[in-house]
Amino acid sequence: MFRQHFDLPLGEDGSDRFVPWIIAVMVYLATLSVAAGMAVNRSVDKWNIGLEGTITVEIVASNAPVEDAGKRMDRALSILRKTEGVRSATPISRDEISKLLEPWLGQGDVPLTLPIPQLIDVRLEAGTKLDFDALGTLLENAVPGARLDDHQYWTERLTGFGRSVQITSAFIVMLVALAGAGTVVFATRAGLEIHREVIELMHLVGSRDSYIAGQFQAHAMSLSLRGGVVGLGLGAATLGVLSGITASIKGSFLPTVTITAEAWAVLAALPLLAGLIATMTARVTVARALQEMP
């Protein structure tokens, strides 16, 4: 089995005690940040897919007799079904609307006197490019109180929200990476100072900078991988708890925290990324410091 031989006593300089824990906290924060970003994005995608290829026509309630409401619905359906590109136009029943309103109005029959708008769920043929403005105007003119909602308002905002979450997540990961790199720089510089005499001797007996840097690199990688695995483990446990909590809130609009295989692959890469950053940082720090030696 591969075993790195350390000529420098890097394990005895105290870095073993604090670097893994700092890296563990960094990877923990990065795990939560990346998982949150992925969960929100998945929800936004789900909502977008749900809204894609559909429009909703709303006919607001009026004081007119109930028979009039039926006529207005028929007129709107007739217009919609004659429109090219419309696959189906289905009125949403009062029962279904009541279910949609349950989170706000609670379970039970919605009183008939409550002015609830009528809704029509319109499905479009795939690839149809409808002139929503023209269709909306046509409906408004033909059916008083009719309004067409192409969901563009929501999809734009959802996409914007998803992008903001992604950017914030990336920013947090970047900050965490910078803080981790800073920790490694500090630990490496301390190590260089503590082991100055040993390094000088190694130089005198012909050691190349890369040989000495290699020992610091391997040590930094070992410490950060250890810390990274602990951080990932703690992150996974936290995500497990959050997943249980969100799953228990039925009908919630909260994104569900489920870690897919793909997400696990991304999260599992975080300790490796931490190891890579630590390795590169240690190498650059040592190489710069050794340049000052004869």
Any idea which residue has 């890369």 for tokens? Answer: 210
Beta-carbon count within 10 A of 167 CB: 11
In the complex, the residues that contact another protein under the rule CB under 8 A are 5, 7, 9, 12, 197-198, 201-209, 211, 291, 294
Contacts 24+ apart (CB under 8 A), 264-267: 266/34, 266/38, 267/31, 267/34, 267/35, 267/232, 267/235, 267/236
Nearest partner of 30 among 184, 149, 139, 176, judged by Cα:
176
CB 149 within 8 A of CB 55: yes
**Distances from the Cα of 226 to the Cα of 4, 174, 223, 270, 276, angstroms:** 16, 20, 5, 12, 13
> Would you give the distance in Å from CA 126 to the centre of its chain?
29
CA end-to-end span of the chain: 36
Q: What are 88's strand-pairing partners?
A: 123
CB 255 within 8 Å of CB 40: yes
Q: What angle do CA 234, 170, 157 make, to 5 degrees?
A: 115
Q: Least distance (Å) from another protein to the CB of residue 290?
A: 9
**Minimum distance from residue 214 beta carbon to another protein (Å):** 11
Minimal distance in Å, beta carbon 43 to another protein? 54
Nearer to another protein, 84 or 197 (CB): 197
CA–CA distance, 139 with 76 (Å, rounded to integer): 7
In terms of CB distance, is 154 or 211 closer to another protein?
Answer: 211
Q: At its nearest, how many Å lie between another protein and the CB of residue 201?
A: 5
Task: Provide the minimum distance between the beta carbon of 205 and another protein in the complex, in angstroms, as a whole number.
Answer: 5
Of the pair 95, 200, the CB lying nearest another protein is at 200
Comparison of 72 and 195: residue with beta carbon closer to another protein: 195
Shortest Cβ 276–another protein spacing (Å): 25
Nearer to another protein by Cβ, of 202 and 269: the residue is 202
Nearer to another protein, 1 or 49 (CB): 1
CB of 288 to another protein, least distance (A): 13
Residue placing its CB nearer to another protein in the complex, 12 or 156: 12
Q: How far is the CB of 206 from another protein (least distance, A)?
A: 3
| CA pair distance 199, 50, nearest whole angstrom | 63
Residue with Cβ nearer another protein (16 or 149): 16
228: tokens are 């990274």
Residue with the two structure tokens 């809704």 = 119
